[in-house]
């Protein structure tokens, strides 16, 4: 069933999670052209850096005509600063603005009063951010991505944040079924995602451990979520979106890509990285392997 976020309609309800150092423009071009991805996010963007028009930050927001619909995810700990950055995102033509309440890495959660998943412990402050950002936006919807909790794995923290976000005007929520303490270890708790789904009326995107079509089907069956957000399962596998879509429609999985198809896509991805990042950065960039271990890097798929 389609999911509507203000004027944006997502026909298949399958979206790509924002992931720092992963979901750059070349990644998104490949995901859309090869895998049929309908909706994606940029890499996580610092609200403070965007306000100062930092060059590296603006490069994270690079896009092209075919890279639509597209959302931008902001991270920050000061509601006034994040709200001040929100209109810039809207003016740049993005279709959705998402707020990061999920990133677990210390450089995000430990700075100042704490951003990312640290806001799960500060519901009053988080609500102030939601309200100020929602008021600052004129056209595009506000969404929030969170974890099920900071240390508490019951989902209670996420339920409270979800209710506050809905009351403040958020159009949808994405819930990663892990706590901040887990980072990327263990298994995603789909029942906890379901507790968030039961607490609000706005659409919920379930996230965590979706690496196959069957995983996505189980996520929806257990949690009752409206849509599926794919994270690390897409790394090295841009064919996953079509597999998930087929599974959710009850159709047979599409044929697996051949070796030659994988080789061609890999080389095309490298060509795009060279085109958009330059020779040196494209060749030395640390691309995660498919299904990386938690210890392999601290990229932040909230």
CA distance 234 to 240: 6
Task: Tell me whether residue 133 is in a domain.
Answer: yes
CA distance 39 to 52: 28
Question: What's the first-to-final CA gap in the chain, in angstroms?
Answer: 25
Residue 293, pLDDT score: 35
* CATH number of the domain residue 198 falls in: 3.20.20.70
Task: Tell me whether residue 291 is in a domain.
Answer: no
Number of domains within the chain: 1
From first to last of its 302 residues, the chain has per-residue pLDDT tens of 789 999 999 999 999 999 988 899 999 999 999 988 999 999 999 999 999 999 999 999 999 999 999 999 999 999 999 999 999 999 999 999 999 999 888 888 885 568 999 999 999 999 999 999 999 999 999 999 999 999 988 999 999 999 999 999 999 999 999 998 888 888 999 999 999 999 999 999 999 999 999 999 999 999 999 999 999 999 999 999 999 999 999 999 999 999 999 999 999 988 898 888 777 777 766 554 444 333 333 445 56
Residue 249, pLDDT score: 94
Partners of 205 in beta bridges: 174, 227
CA distances to 47, 137, 148, 194 from 121, rounded to whole Å, are 20, 25, 11, 20
Residue 285, pLDDT score: 61
Q: What is the pTM of this model?
A: 0.90
Q: How many CA atoms lie within 13 A of 8 on its CB side?
A: 24
Encoding tokens for residue 77?
């700990």
- Residue 66 buriedness (CB in 10 A; 0-12 / 13-18 / 19+): exposed
H/E element, 224:
none
Task: Tell me whether residue 295 is in a domain.
Answer: no
Residue 300, pLDDT score: 55
Task: Tell me whether residue 297 is in a domain.
Answer: no
CA distance 302 to 183: 9
Please spell the DSSP secondary structure of 95-141, one letter per residue.
SEEEEEE----HHHHSSTT--GGGGGG-HHHHHHHHHHHHHH-SSSP
Domain that holds residue 178: 3-284
CA distance 281 to 55: 16
Show which residues are catalytic.
Answer: 103
Task: Tell me whether residue 72 is in a domain.
Answer: yes
Residue 5, pLDDT score: 95
Residue 52, pLDDT score: 93
Task: Tell me whether residue 94 is in a domain.
Answer: yes
Task: Tell me whether residue 178 is in a domain.
Answer: yes
CA distance 27 to 112: 32
Task: Tell me whether residue 293 is in a domain.
Answer: no
């Amino acid at each position: 069933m389609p999911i509507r976020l203000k004027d944006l309609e997502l026909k298949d309800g399958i979206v790509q999670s924002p992931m720092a150092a992963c979901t750059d423009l070349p990644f998104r071009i490949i995901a859309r052209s090869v895998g049929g991805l309908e909706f994606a996010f940029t890499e996580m963007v610092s609200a403070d850096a965007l306000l100062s028009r930092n060059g590296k930050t603006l490069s994270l927001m690079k896009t092209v005509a075919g890279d639509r619909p597209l959302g931008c995810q902001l991270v920050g700990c000061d509601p006034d600063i994040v709200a001040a950055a929100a209109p810039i995102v809207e003016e740049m033509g993005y279709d959705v603005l998402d707020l990061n309440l999920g990133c677990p890495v210390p450089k995000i959660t430990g700075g100042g009063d704490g951003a990312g998943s640290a806001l799960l412990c500060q519901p009053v402050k988080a609500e102030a951010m939601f309200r100020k950002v929602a008021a600052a936006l004129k056209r595009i919807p506000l969404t929030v991505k969170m974890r099920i909790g900071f240390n508490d794995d019951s989902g209670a923290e996420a339920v409270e944040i979800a209710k506050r976000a809905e009351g403040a005007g958020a159009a949808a929520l994405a819930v990663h079924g892990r706590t901040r303490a887990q980072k990327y270890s263990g298994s995603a708790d789909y029942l906890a995602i379901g507790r968030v789904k039961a607490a609000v009326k706005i659409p919920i995107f379930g996230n965590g451990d979706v690496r196959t079509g069957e995983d996505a089907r189980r996520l929806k069956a257990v949690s009752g979520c409206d849509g599926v957000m794919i994270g690390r399962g897409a790394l090295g596998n841009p064919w996953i979106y079509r597999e998930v879509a087929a599974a959710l429609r009850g159709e047979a999985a599409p044929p697996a890509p051949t070796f030659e198809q994988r080789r061609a896509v890999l080389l095309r991805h490298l060509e795009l990285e060279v085109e958009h990042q330059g020779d040196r950065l494209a060749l030395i960039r640390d691309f995660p392997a498919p299904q990386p271990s938690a210890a392999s890097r601290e990229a932040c798929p909230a």
